[in-house]
Structure formats: C-alpha cells, structure tokens
Structure 1
Amino acid sequence: MDRFLDELLIEPWRIPVIITTATGIYLGFMLLAKLFGSRILMAMTASDAVIVIMFGAVSGRVIIGHPPTLAAGLLGLTTLMCLEAAFGTLRRFTGWGRLLNRRPVLVVREGEMLIDAMRHAHISRTDVLTAVRRAGLGSITQVQAMVLEPTGTMSVIRTGQPFDPAVLRGVADH
C-alpha cells in the first residue's frame, strides 16, 4: 500500500519546485514562440509534429521531475493552466497582448513574394505556395495580398476582389 501511495502522492518540498519549473517552461516557450514567430503555429509537417511531441516530452519531464507521480503531473498541469488564464487576462486588460502576440505580416503583395517579410516570419516559398493552393488558386499572380496571421494561418485576398484597405491596417510590412 505504501508503494501505491508513493506513486500517487508528492513530497511537500517538491511542490514549489514543480510550480517554478512549470512557470519557467511556460515563460520559455512564450519567449521562443515570440522569437520564432507564427510559423510554429502553421499546419505541421511530419517533422514539425515530431518536434512538438519532443517539446511536450521534454517539458513534461522537466516540470514533473523524478520520480513522476500523479500528484506531480496534476500540479504541473494546474500550474500551466493557471499561467495561461493569468496571461490571457493580462493580454485582455493590459497592453501585454501587443507585447506577447506577433503582428500579422504581409508576405505577398500583388502576386509578389515579400522575401524580407517571409524571412522575418520564418516562412518559406513552399509555405506560401501551399497557402495559394489551399485558397483554391492556380498561381501566385492571383494573390492581391497574403497575410501570415498571429494564429499561424495564412489569409489570402484574391486579385480583383474588392477589399477595404483598413483590412490591412496593423499588418507589418504594409
């Protein structure tokens, strides 16, 4: 019975360690997401999926520590969820949202790829052409504007489609 309880419970001294490591992993991931941009949120290739799984495995191992227990796992998850709720509130009620979230980036204008903007956003020619195909277009020349959104999605405005220039207000490189 003692062995069973050891697998479920956690020593009290480990509680602040788990909370601190979960906070560090959360902040570290937020910083890396800010540095590497919305590209990490785009549709994943098989190698991207492997990297995301590895992020989770490394993060989980660091947060829970050794030995892993049910209580440590629940405490780590609870800490991450509380941090997400707290940062969500900060983003909503303060200027932190602009600091934490990336701006949308114009990557194609009037059928031309904006190479500097693409480089800054960490997206490739292949990413752009994939978005062209997803929009149901046969050529990049049919793209009036393409924007990499903060969510990692690509928005496409077709050539000849009327649009209000205000739609691009706040978009980087416009």
Structure 2
Amino acid sequence: MMDMIIDDLGIELWRIPVVVISAIGIYLGFMLLVKIFGSRVLSSMTASDAVVVIMFGAVGGRVILGHPPTLATGLIGLLSLMLLEASFGSFRRFTGWGRQLDRQPVLVVAHGHMLRDQMRHSHVSRTDVFSAMRRAGIGSLEQIQAMVLEPTGTMSVIREGQLLQVEAFRGLRGCEELGLEQSDASES
C-alpha cells in the first residue's frame, strides 16, 4: 500500500530534467503562438476561445507531466513554469526585449471608422468592436475617437472630443490615423 502511494506521488530522478525541458518547450511554444496569432485569444473569450484555452492547458499539462503524471511531476512542472515566467519578466525589464516579445498596441477604430487592415492584422472582428463599444457605454461608432487593442488583448475606448496626449499613443500601430501632432495634443 505504501509503495503504491509513493509511486503515485513521487518521481524517478531521471524524469526531473525531462519535466523541466518539457515545461520550457511548452512555455516557449505558447509564447511564440501568442506572438503569431495575437493576445486577443487570451482576453474576452467567446465560448470557442475558452475551449481552445482549456485545450492548450490540457495539452501543455500532458506534455509537461508525461505518463504517468504524479504530484511530484506536477509540482516540478508548475515550479518550472513559474521560474520561466519570473525569469522572462526580469529579462524583459532589464534588456528592453519586452517591446520585441510583447504585441504592439493597435488602433482599430479612429474617429468613428473601423480600420479594416488593422483589424484583420490583429484578428479583431466587427463583433469584437461592437462588444467593446457596449462595455464602454457607447451607442455608435461616431462617438469613438480611438479604440485600441492593447497588448493584453483588452480594448481601450476613448470618446470623441477628449484631448489626446501624444506620449500615450507613441508606438501605437496606426496612430497616424488619429492625426496627432505635438501642437494638436494636450501635453498634460
């Protein structure tokens, strides 16, 4: 009985590096896929998006833990993922690589007009735009001065008529559509 419990909870020493390498591979693979396909899939999820995210977790977990999964492999896998996340966070902060690794914010609506090329590039649908409008309490596109898909996958909505600070829009893909120049924007 005790041997069965140890088998179910423990791990053979040779499996530890396999679990760690698998965790690194899944982490890097997931980061690459999010970079390629966009962070939108991780934000406001539809039912199909939720299914995909759950499947990512299931596939990733099985790859990391291997067969048979045990408590020890699970803890080693989670520890590996947490250390990777902490390491990449520090790496981004100290090297400036965050700008290359993270997605760029994208302007998807400017002065009441959907920017179709930007939306297509960012995998944003008309339904996504209308949903963000409703969440912001806006009833028509004409009331939107700017809608931005943020690197986190959320949508920021700025009402028409608000002053825009140029610095807040630097690095925004499509910002030229807003017609911002130093003299046009508030410097506060």
Normalising TM by the smaller chain, what interval? over 0.9
- SS in structure 2 at match of 1:67: coil
Partner of 1:36: 37
Partner of 1:20: 21
The yes-or-no answer on 1:154 pairing with 2:155 is yes
Partner of 1:71: 72
Partner of 1:83: 84
Structure 1 residues 112-145: Cα deviation after superposition (integer angstroms, max 9, x where no partner): 0001101111110100111111110110111011
Partner of 1:111: 112
Partner of 1:169: 170
Shift of 1:70: 0.5
CA distance in 1, matches of 2:86, 2:135: 33
Give, as a single letter, the amino acid of the residue that structure 2 aligns with 1:19. Answer: V
Partner of 1:125: 126
Partner of 1:49: 50
Question: Does the CA-based 8 Å contact 2:111-2:145 persist in structure 1?
Answer: yes
The yes-or-no answer on 1:97 pairing with 2:73 is no
CA distance in 2, matches of 1:58, 1:9: 22
Partner of 1:5: 6
- SS in structure 1 at match of 2:145: strand
Q: Where does structure 1 lack aligned partners over 5 or more consecutive residues? A: none
CA distance in 2, matches of 1:6, 1:163: 62
Partner of 1:138: 139
CA distance in 1, matches of 2:134, 2:85: 34
Give, as a single letter, the amino acid of the residue that structure 1 aligns with 2:92. Answer: R
CA distance in 1, matches of 2:59, 2:105: 30
Bigger RCO (CA 8 Å, 6+ sep): 1
Give, as a single letter, the amino acid of the residue that structure 1 aligns with 2:135. Answer: R
Q: Where does structure 2 lack aligned partners over 5 or more consecutive residues? A: 176-188
- SS in structure 2 at match of 1:58: helix
- SS in structure 2 at match of 1:145: strand
CA distance in 1, matches of 2:161, 2:100: 35
Shift of 1:4: 0.8
TM-score normalised by structure 2 residue count: 0.90
Question: Does the CA-based 8 Å contact 2:42-2:53 persist in structure 1?
Answer: no
Structure 1 residues 29-75: Cα deviation after superposition (integer angstroms, max 9, x where no partner): 00001001121122011111111111111100110000111000000
- SS in structure 1 at match of 2:148: strand
TM-score normalised by structure 1 residue count: 0.97
Identity over aligned residues, as a percent?
Answer: 68
- SS in structure 2 at match of 1:21: helix
